[in-house]
């Protein structure tokens, strides 16, 4: 039987909850990819998970963001963009 990896804090909520530094939503690498697709940082992060075969369940209490987070299934990242996302290190991992 196959296994499916699930992303926890899939769009970097943990980087926001800490409230003491840059968040995934402000990351320049994600920002550059987002601009190339005319999408949002959250959408690029979710597209990356889906394209790489991970389960991703983002959390939002904001209706417009919930809609935005569902509007990702048509995004096709290039191989270079996928590699760039894997190279990201927010340097803010849990201790
Ligand atoms: N993090 C963990 O350790 C952990 C552990 C077990 C289970 N989980 C599960 O994983 C899921 C999500 O975890 P999470 O809340 O840590 O992280 P997340 O989904 O990565 O991030 C949630 C944060 O992102 C914001 N957000 C959502 N959509 C956005 C968008 N389109 N643009 C900008 N901001 C957006 C939310 O704000 P608003 O809500 O204010 O819109 C919230 O601050 C949940 O189902 C949770 O139960 C997480």
Provide the pLDDT for residue 55: 95
User: Residue 79: inside a domain, yes or no?
Assistant: yes
pTM of the model: 0.90
Q: What is the pLDDT of residues 12-32, one digit of tens each?
A: 999 899 888 889 999 999 999
Q: State the residue range of the domain holding 51.
A: 25-86
User: Residue 7: inside a domain, yes or no?
Assistant: no
**How far, in Å, is the centroid of ligand 1 from the Cα of 10?**
7
> Hey, which residues does 6 pair with through a beta bridge?
55
φ, ψ dihedrals at 6, nearest 5°: -110, 130
Q: What is the pLDDT of residues 77-91, one digit of tens each?
A: 999 999 999 988 755
Whether the Cβ atoms of residue 38 and residue 89 lie closer than 8 Å to each other:
no
Please count the structural domains in the chain.
1
| CB-based contacts of 43, cutoff 8 Å, min separation 6 | 34, 37, 68, 69, 71, 72, 75
Residue 1 pLDDT more than 80? no
Residues lining ligand 1, CB < 6 A? 8-14, 16, 25, 40, 42, 57-62, 65, 68-69
User: Residue 59: inside a domain, yes or no?
Assistant: yes
């Amino acid at each position: 039987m196959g296994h499916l990896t699930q992303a926890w804090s899939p769009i970097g909520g943990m980087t926001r909850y800490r409230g003491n530094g840059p968040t995934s939503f402000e990351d320049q690498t994600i920002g550059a990819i987002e601009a190339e697709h005319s999408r949002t940082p959250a959408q690029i992060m979710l597209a990356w998970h889906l394209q790489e075969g991970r389960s991703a369940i983002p959390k939002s209490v904001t209706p417009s963001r919930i809609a935005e987070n569902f509007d990702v299934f048509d995004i096709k990242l290039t191989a270079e963009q996928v590699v760039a996302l894997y190279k990201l290190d927010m340097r803010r991992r849990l201790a």
